[in-house]
């Protein structure tokens, strides 16, 4: 059976099969969400108020913090509500908005992490030319490109996904409205949607990750040629946090979308 019209709403399955976990998870998610709000807000305020932090690195870090605030706020409050109430539903309009925002911000973060990696590559491999290469005008342009590419990806993926013929039960085996979950919910032919998702995954996940790995290979080679423990510590301090975020972010997103 196929429903040719848009459903009134969706039911999130989440942890319905394990209701005992819901209260524990809600506490963990709430604490993580509050820490995310406080930490990223402080980063943005410090980057704006402290003149010593008016640099390309902290400009991109502020963009990343703002992105993290927006991404978590786009789905965590709804997730917390679903963990507490017995009827875990969302309207079709609400799901559509969440899907659009989630794709927009998630893709922007993929591109922004790649841009930040470029800044670290220049800082370590070409430190004498850093100020001339990574100037404020270029930083603004790269940030605009990241946000524009995220918007374009969301405009390409969201409408075809929402036009799919959904099965009558309208049950999403997830906590959030995202493309893979909605494709699984469809009772029609999803071949083109899956191809579109795979191509986007290669463009916005695999290619940026390859570029990041290549640049870190160049950074590692440059650091190994330096016979200075202080320089090694500086390079490690510059790159370690970004590399940690990249590893966690890309491994999780690739596991879901590819």
Integer Cα distance of 50 and 26 in angstroms: 36
Which class for 63: exposed (0-12), middle (13-18), buried (19 or more C-beta within 10 A)? Answer: buried
Integer Cα distance of 57 and 120 in angstroms: 8
- In which order are the strands placed within the sheet that holds 9-12? 89-91, 9-12, 171-172
pLDDT score for 29: 92
pLDDT score for 235: 74
- Residue 114 pLDDT > 90, yes or no? yes
Give 82's pLDDT tier (boundaries 50, 70, 90): confident
- Per-residue pLDDT tens for 172-230? 888 888 898 899 888 888 999 999 999 999 999 999 999 999 998 888 888 878 777 77
Two structure tokens written together for 10? 């969706």
More confident residue, 16 or 36: 36
- Per-residue pLDDT tens for 129-146? 888 889 889 999 999 999
Residue with tokens 């410090």: 46
More confident residue, 200 or 167: 200
- The domains found in the chain, sorted by start residue, are 9-257 (1.20.1070.10)
- Per-residue pLDDT tens for 54-81? 888 899 999 999 999 999 999 999 888 8
- Angle value at C-alpha 66, between 98 and 235, nearest 5 degrees: 130
> Taking residues 88-98, what's their average pLDDT?
88
Give 15's pLDDT tier (boundaries 50, 70, 90): confident
What is the per-residue DSSP string for 155-173?
HHHHHHHHTS-B-TT-EES
């Amino acid at each position: 059976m196929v429903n040719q019209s848009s459903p009134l709403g969706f039911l999130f399955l989440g942890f319905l099969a394990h209701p005992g976990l819901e209260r524990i998870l809600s506490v963990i998610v709430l604490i993580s969400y509050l820490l995310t709000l406080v930490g990223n807000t402080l980063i943005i305020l410090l980057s704006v108020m402290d003149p010593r932090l008016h640099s390309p690195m902290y400009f991109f870090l502020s963009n990343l913090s703002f992105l993290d605030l927006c991404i978590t706020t786009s789905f965590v409050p709804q997730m917390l509500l679903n963990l507490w109430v017995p009827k875990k539903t969302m309207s079709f309009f609400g799901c559509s908005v969440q899907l659009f925002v989630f794709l927009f911000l998630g893709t922007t973060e993929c591109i922004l992490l790649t841009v930040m990696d470029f800044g670290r590559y220049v800082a370590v491999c070409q430190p004498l030319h850093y100020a001339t290469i990574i100037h404020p005008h270029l930083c603004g342009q790269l940030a605009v490109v990241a946000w524009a590419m995220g918007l374009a990806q969301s405009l390409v993926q969201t409408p075809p996904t929402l036009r799919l013929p959904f099965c009558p039960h309208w049950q999403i085996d997830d906590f959030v409205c995202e493309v893979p979950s909605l494709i699984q919910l469809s009772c029609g032919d999803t071949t083109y949607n899956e191809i579109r998702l795979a191509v986007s995954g290669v463009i916005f996940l695999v290619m940026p990750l390859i570029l990041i790995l290549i640049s870190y290979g160049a950074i590692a080679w440059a650091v190994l040629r330096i016979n200075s423990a202080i320089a090694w510590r500086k390079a490690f301090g510059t790159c370690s946090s970004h590399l940690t975020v990249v590893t966690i972010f890309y491994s999780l997103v690739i596991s879901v979308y590819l």
